[in-house]
A and B are shown apart, each in its own frame.
Chain A
Amino acid sequence: MSPEPCQVAVVGGGLAGIIAAAMLQKNGLKVLLLDENQGLGGQYLRTHPPLPSGGGHFLPRLGAGHMRELAEKGVETVNRAQVLAISPAREILAEEDGQRLFTLRPEAVLLAPGAREKFIPFKGWTLPGVISTGAAQILIKAHGVLPGREMMIAGSGAFIYAVAAEVLANTGRVRAILDHNSLARKIEFAQGVLTMRHKLAEGLGQVARLLLARTPIKNRTRVLEARGDGRLEEVVTTKLDRAGNPLPGSEKTYPCTCLAVGNGFVANLELGQLAGCRLEHNPALGGWIVGVNQEMETSVPGVFAAGEITGVAGAEKSVTEGRLAALCVLHRLGRLSAQAFSDRARPLRKERARQLAFARRFNALHAVPAGIVNSLPDDTIICRCEDITMGEIREAIRGGCRTPLAVKRSARVGMGICQGRTCASFLYEMIAAHTGVPVSGQEVLSVRSPVKALGLGTLARPLERF
């Protein structure tokens, strides 16, 4: 362990975290960067490695550059580290690689744990062979492995097209893309992003690839059922009406052994919640997020946040907020004068405002129509960890449970090993559909430490002070 205590703990080694960590250390603060993966870079950089030619999108190069900087500046980094708990007084509990258990209490904490995939269940989605679009992207881009020779991609938003294009660019085939939005919605979206030049270029490139391969794109369509004996063998699709209900008679069956589904992303709020940070619900920014002020500080003094958890808006905003949060912490800890802070923060804040405005276009594509929720058959598994079905949850709601907490206690949904990370967002939609209370009016399920599962043996390790 380090002889001097760290002054700033950065949780999450994605774009926001590594940029902030490098800036903080460069300006004289002792930083500890904690990341749960094997290597730094988070979801974006592991799936967007810089091109050997040096060309391509600037973000991967930027990211790689900052990673070099971290090493050069001697930023203390702990990989394979899970942050298990944080208190409102910034007391952190973490474990490294299952081997070491330690606590630390830095002067400031920057939470940048990113986002995870949001899931909308369908009958049979638990069959091996059904993966998330994020998982597909990681396998293809980070490991050079195709999830399947031929795949189907289903869901909503822009990411499903990006992943379909990646499959095609990497010797795979795409049988069809199923999009629960209508063509009209997508045209509306495209018009809205015309001014985002590089995003537009990226998007057009993907669309071109899909058109060249003559990939069937089915609008207002979703998966009705995934079927197979012990593994995915076929997919039944259905067209949807305006309310999201399946249109009877529109079913089509496709042989399929690999299906990637994507419906947007939700922020990894758990640590922020545990620390007592005020949360906000903003559908334009992916739903529940951690509230921050102009100084990128949460409602808990000394706890800052950056990246997807302040709003799901993609890699560019994570870069901007990583920089902005670093400046804020530097200013707070006396390493930056008020004037210098103000001068440097101003353009970043402008950038951030623009990025937040654009994000709403992308996130709007992920609205879940009530028809989708209400039409799921009773035997659809909702809580995968504990095999709790739609029918059991409906029964709990009929029995008088009107809040997420009541349903959780009654039906046990969200009490398994993932602690609701897979099913909670859908649970909120279910309660909204049944009770009429919008997600923003519901109380988020509480979290308890440890926020991530760990071995009992790890929890029993000698507790060290970092």
Chain B
Amino acid sequence: MTDLRIRPGDPDKKIRIYVNGQECPAFQGETVLAALTAAGKKSLRKSRQAKEPRGALCGMGVCYECLVAIDGVPGWRACQTEVRDLMEIEIDES
């Protein structure tokens, strides 16, 4: 499994999140985008009109490209949302 973390995360802060049903490493305080990027997941959704693969671009909440579904609700900016224990994230990697 891909792990792009620079340092091992703080074990006291480790939590469980699920991406498309599979458990993914995550640590309290980081954004959903950080967790997804660390796991090598770049393709997050399909563009509105041309239905082409998209992922994060600006990383700071202004481009709205990194939208993911969280706990059944679509449209969350992964770069602006903090991970939470047992969070269920759906991305379109197809």
8 A Cβ contacts from A116-174 to B: 116-117, 119, 126-132, 134-136, 138-140, 142-149, 170-171
Cα–Cα, bound, A119→B57 (Å): 10
Taking CB atoms and an 8 Å cut-off, the chain B residues in 3-57 that contact chain A are: 4-7, 9, 30-31, 33-34, 37-38, 42-44, 47-50, 52-57
Chain A contact surface mostly: loop
Chain B residue at smallest Cβ distance from A138: B59
Q: Chain A residues near B60 (CB, 8 Å)? A: 43, 116-117, 134-135, 138
Q: Is the CB of B57 within 8 A of A231?
A: no
Output the least CB separation between B60 and chain A (Å). Answer: 6
Is A418 part of the binding interface, using a Cβ–Cβ cutoff of 8 Å? yes
Query: Smallest distance from the beta carbon of B65 to chain A beta carbons, Å?
Result: 7
Q: Does B86 contact A (CB under 8 A)?
A: no
* Interface residue tally on A, bucketed by range: 35 or more
Q: A458 to chain B: closest CB distance in Å?
A: 11
Minimum CB–CB distance for A263 against chain B, Å: 12
Q: Given A128-B43, A145-B38, check contact A139 B50 (CB 8 Å).
A: no
- Which of A43, A119, A136, A143 counts the most chain B CB atoms within 10 A? A143
- Whether, in the assembled complex, A422 has its beta carbon less than 8 Å from a beta carbon of chain B, the answer is yes
How far apart are the CA atoms of A453 and B49 in the complex, in Å?
19
Q: Are B52 and A143 in contact (CB under 8 A)?
A: no
Q: Is the CB of A418 within 8 A of B62?
A: yes
Report whether A144 and B7 are in contact in the complex, using a CB–CB cutoff of 8 Å: yes
Known: A129-B42, A140-B6. A384 touches B47 (CB 8 A): yes
Does B79 touch A at the CB level, under 8 Å?
A: yes
Contact of A145 with B37 in the complex, beta carbons under 8 Å: yes
Q: Is the CB of B57 within 8 A of A116?
A: no
Complex contact A145–B49 (CB within 8 A): no
Given known A129-B55, A422-B63, contact A139–B33 (CB-CB < 8 A): yes
Cα-based distance from A414 to B6 in the complex (angstroms)? 37
Interface residues of A in 371-392 (CB under 8 A from B): 381, 384-387
Q: Which of B4, B42, B44, B58 contacts A145 (CB 8 A)?
A: B4
A132–B61 CA distance with the chains assembled, in angstroms: 12
Whether the Cβ atoms of A385 and B64 lie closer than 8 Å is yes
| Chain B: CB-nearest residue to A132 | B58
Answer yes or no: A38 CB below 8 A from chain B CBs. Answer: yes
The CA-CA distance from A117 to B75 in the complex, in Å, is: 22
- B44, B58, B80: residue with the most chain A Cβ atoms closer than 10 Å: B58
Contact with B along A409-425 (1 / 0, CB 8 A): 00000001110011000
B58 lies within 8 A of A117 (CB): yes
Q: How far is the CA of A144 from the CA of B37 in the complex (A)?
A: 11
* Pair A145/B5 contact, Cβ less than 8 Å: yes
Rounded to whole angstroms, the CA-CA distance of A418 and B61 in the bound complex is: 9
Structural contact, B48 and A143, CB atoms closer than 8 A? no
Residues of A within 8 A of B65 (CB): 384
Distance of A127 Cα from B57 Cα, bound (Å): 10
User: What chain B residues lie within 8 Å of A429 (beta carbons)?
Assistant: none
Asked whether A146 lies within 8 Å of B6 as measured between CB atoms, the reply is yes
Q: Which residues of the other chain, B, contact A170 by a CB distance below 8 angstroms?
A: 6
B58 touches A134 (CB 8 A): yes
Tell yes or no: A225 within 8 A of B by CB. Answer: no
Are the C-beta atoms of B53 and A128 separated by less than 8 Å?
Answer: yes
CA distance A420 to B64 in the complex (A): 11
Please determine whether B49 and A387 come into contact, CB atoms closer than 8 angstroms.
Answer: yes
Report whether B43 and A422 are in contact in the complex, using a CB–CB cutoff of 8 Å.
no
3 closest A-B pairs by CB: A135-B59, A128-B55, A143-B34
Can you give 30 A-B contacts (C-beta < 8 A)? Answer: A36-B61, A37-B61, A37-B80, A116-B58, A119-B57, A126-B54, A127-B53, A132-B57, A132-B59, A134-B59, A134-B60, A135-B56, A135-B58, A138-B79, A142-B34, A143-B30, A145-B4, A145-B34, A230-B53, A232-B42, A384-B47, A384-B54, A384-B63, A385-B64, A387-B47, A387-B49, A418-B64, A421-B62, A422-B58, A455-B75
Interface residues of A (CB under 8 A from B): 36-38, 43, 116-117, 119, 126-132, 134-136, 138-140, 142-149, 170-171, 230-232, 268, 381, 384-387, 416-418, 421-422, 453, 455
Q: A37-B61, A126-B54, A143-B34 are in contact. List 15 more A-B contacts (CB 8 A).
A: A36-B80, A119-B57, A128-B43, A130-B57, A131-B56, A132-B58, A134-B58, A135-B79, A145-B34, A145-B38, A231-B42, A232-B42, A384-B54, A384-B57, A385-B48
